[in-house]
Structure 1
Amino acid sequence: MPVVLKTFGWSFAVTALGLVLAVLYGGWAAFGIVAILSILEISLSFDNAVVNAGILKKMNAFWQKIFLTIGILIAVFGMRLVFPVLIVAVSAGLGPIEAVDLALNDKDLYQELVTDAHPSIAAFGGMFLLMIFLDFIFEDREIKWLVPLERPLAKLGKVDMLSVCIALAVLLGSALTFAKNAHQHGGGHADKAETVLLSGIAGLITYLVVGGLSGYFENKLEEEEEREHEAEEKARRSGKKVTVGAIGGKAAFFMFLYLEVLDASFSFDGVIGAFAITNDIVLMALGLGVGAMYVRSLTVYLVRQGTLDDYVYLEHGAHYAIGALAVILLITIQYEIPEMVTGLIGVALIGWSFWSSVRRNRALAAAGQTPLPDPAGRKG
């Protein structure tokens, strides 16, 4: 219980504050809307927490605190409050003040403008998440979950730039099919192929730049740690002191940046789905903000409890859920898919991977072996 309170204490406090503000703002009806939005955000973002935990566990205590403080401010105020207004400002060619005025005083028109911007949002987020999934399944990992599927995919992954080629092919297909029949708010259709292509390419470039920098500095950090370890061994023999390199700060910064972009991509479906429940920007920010706090706390809990090391297939299940979410986002360019379906698919995949991990641990225990996780998640 103390561990739960320590990890989720701020989430409980923000929940109470958010619900009180909702009642003061719009009565008990607003209370119900904020509660529903919070549950929606948590159900849609559980896979986000699992993936975040896999990255966060590599960061030191300082950057984990940054993730929980500055990171949550970006997640709540940036993605759940500023982002919906920014969508309208860009898509409608309005200034920031005009967009805020529209969000507060003409909620119906505001919702229509956000709906019109959905194809570009879905393309950007869909491509970013699709690249995460493809890079995961094409990597040769020592621990495999769905072996008949993952083993041949790992062999295919040896082909250079395969994930990028597949992602571009999927984007082109989406632009030529879903985008050409995307619904306008007026009931008609519009050819949004160009918009979807540009947004999708922007999502792909964002992934390559941020993910590439994060991976580069992470590798540099590992190399630096190896050199420091060797230097420390020599220092012990000679009595000299060793100066710790500063490369860790750069690595942690770009990993933090990667986490924030990842969170942004995950939040797209939650923000858009929230409009099915309310078009009140204040209630939306309160509900999604409370949900975002729980996702952050759950991420830290998974890291501190070593859950990913104990249940080695959880990360696999989360990445399959990411792949499903990427496909769903691209489909929603033309078709509406209930948020409940999206959330249940993610929960089902993670639940399946958790149960598979439990069965693996039991089998190893019965055979007298200790489950040995692969912390790096990869071979070598």
Structure 2
Amino acid sequence: MILKTYRWSFVVTALGLVLAAWYGLSAHLGIGQAIALVLILSILEISLSFDNAVVNATILERMSDFWRKIFLSVGIIIAVFGMRLVFPIVLVSVTAGLGPIEVIRLALEGGDPETPGTYGYELHEAHPTIASFGGMFLLMLFLNFIFGEKEHHWLGPIERALEKVGKLDYVQVIVAGAVLLVVAETFATEHGRTVLASGLAGIVTYLLVNGLGELFNVEDHVEHEDPATTSAGTTASGVNGPSGAARATGKAAFFLFLYLEVLDASFSFDGVIGAFAITSDPVIIAIGLGVGAMYIRSMTVHLVEEGTLAQYPYLENGALWAIGALAVILLLSIEVEIPEVVTGLIGLAFIVASLISSIRYNRAHPEEAHVEQHHAAQPG
């Protein structure tokens, strides 16, 4: 099972290390240094994005096998080349007013992120735009979960109270808009207009992608399975429906896939920025973060195929609270330097805490745990 699920991660790791060795030799970094940097960056990406795997799994379990394969093939190409290599270049080009060719030249030259005019410096200067967009997108995801109906309440009194507040129309948008205004007008005054525009773009992107997913989530685009082997639930994307009882195909699956890619983009921002604290070489960064991203995707599939979310009822809650914490950290990082290790540890703490709570719950309710394990063991 492990070899089947992670085989492509192992292949990408091997290819990444070979490519790093070749690049290190040709770029005069040294083979050993290049390989070491790739391994460090891979671990950084995995540690920062483990909660992403849990959230992705809640969405991926609603997609057909075909679209799961697309997620691991086309999706990883978008994740590695799109978000870890092309996107930073496009972002620097737009924010610095430079042509793509000039940005690529700067990227290949490397340079200290503290030195004006370097690629790393220009990418750091674009951080308010990145943090505001990603922070608000992730905040909308968190608010959609915390104000929505849930099968299991991890932080009981808090989650039940917020669930009642969620009965108000558009409460997620109202809260997100209020947070953005506060951040733009009081906290990030130096970048107020940029933060406001980027944050609104993040909110609109979430509403658009999530809304399209719901629009096409109809009977014509869903494969039904035996209801006797499935259980009801609510997805992290905010689309209420059967978990495992129906798998999205066609347009519904496409927009869920699109949603996953935007979500991955939001998660990747802190990794890309944090990578420059380790090295300013964009090729090494793309290889290292790309290898890490592949493992996150394999972890996502592993969680789905093992039925982990069903076996540990609070795991999804913990992942969404970790996302809420990450959203706050991204917004704070507009003006305050926050070490990436802090971001990773906070997310990991929520995951571990929810896992421990799930184990305790299963021990206290063995009959429910047995049913969930039975469902998870069913083929398909």
Same fold, TM exceeding 0.5?
A: yes
The residue that corresponds to 1:158 in the other structure is 167
Map Cα deviations across residues 298-345 of structure 1 (whole Å, 9 max, x no partner): 000001111111111111000000000000000000011111110011
State the 1:270 CA deviation.
Answer: 0.6
The match for 1:103 among 107, 110, 127 is 107
Matches within 5 A, 1:218-367: 218=217, 220-221=218-219, 248-365=249-366
Residue type at the aligned position of 2:143 = L
Q: Residues of 1 paired with 2:221 and 2:357: CA distance?
A: 34
Task: Indicate whether 1:70 and 2:74 are aligned.
Answer: yes
1:96-175 equivalent positions in 2, closer than 5 A: 96-108=100-112, 109-175=118-184
1:236 alignment counterpart: none
Question: Identity of paired residues, percent?
Answer: 62
- Give the distance between the partners of 1:223 and 1:103, measured in 2 at CA: 43
| 1:341-373 alpha-carbon deviations (Å, 9 max, x no partner) | 1001111100111111111111112xx555555
Does the 8 Å CA contact 1:221/1:248 hold for their aligned counterparts? no
Give me the whole-angstrom Cα distance separating, in 1, the residues matched to 2:253 and 2:368: 35
Q: Cα 1:305–1:222, aligned 2, differ >3 Å: closer, same or farther?
A: farther
Local SS of the residue matching 2:62: coil
Q: When the two structures are superposed, what TM-score results if normalisation uses the length of structure 1?
A: 0.86
Cα-to-partner distance string for 1:108-133 (whole Å, 9 max, x where unaligned):
41111111100010000000000000
2:191 aligned with 1:192, yes or no?
A: yes
- Is the contact made by 2:146 and 2:163 (CA closer than 8 Å) also made in structure 1? yes
Cα separation, 1, equivalents of 2:302 and 2:223: 26
CA distance in structure 2 between the aligned counterparts of 1:329 and 1:51, rounded to whole angstroms: 18
> In structure 2, what is the Cα distance between the partners aligned to 1:223 and 1:24?
46
Amino acid paired to 1:354: L
Cα distance between partner residues in 2 of 1:161 and 1:74: 32
**Alpha-carbon distance between aligned partners in 1 of 2:110 and 2:11, rounded to the nearest angstrom:** 32
**Aligned to 2:60, which of 52, 56, 64?**
56
Residues 214-266 of structure 1, C-alpha deviation per residue, up to 9 Å, x if partnerless?
12222x1389778xx9xxxxxxxxxxxxxxxxx83010011000000000001
In structure 1, stretches of 5+ residues that fail to align are 181-190, 230-246, 376-380
Displaced runs of 4 or more, over 4 A: 222-226, 368-375
Asked which structure has the greater RCO (Cα within 8 Å, sep 6+), the reply is: 1
CA distance in 2, matches of 1:304, 1:369: 20
Give the match's secondary structure for 2:335. coil
Change in Cα spacing, 1:373 to 1:142, as seen in structure 2 (3 Å) is farther
CA–CA separation in structure 2 for the residues paired with 1:35 and 1:282: 14
Aligned equivalent of 1:20, options 18, 21, 25: 18
1:94 CA displacement: 1.6
Does residue 93 (structure 1) correspond to residue 91 (structure 2)? The answer is no
Deviation sequence 1:185-224 (CA, Å, 0-9, x none): xxxxxx2100000000000000000011112222x13897
Query: Structure 1 residues 196 and 370, CA, compared in 2 at 3 Å: closer, same or farther?
Result: closer
C-alpha contact 1:312 1:373 (8 A) present in aligned 2: no
Q: What's the TM-score, normalizing by structure 2?
A: 0.86
Q: Distance in 2 between matches of 1:248 and 1:8?
A: 24
Gap regions ≥5 residues in structure 2: 25-29, 113-117, 228-247, 376-380
> Which amino acid in structure 2 is aligned with residue 195 of structure 1?
T
Tell me the distance in 2 between the aligned counterparts of 1:357 and 1:216: 33
**How much does 1:45 deviate?**
0.5
Contact kept? 1:76, 1:292, Cα under 8 Å: yes
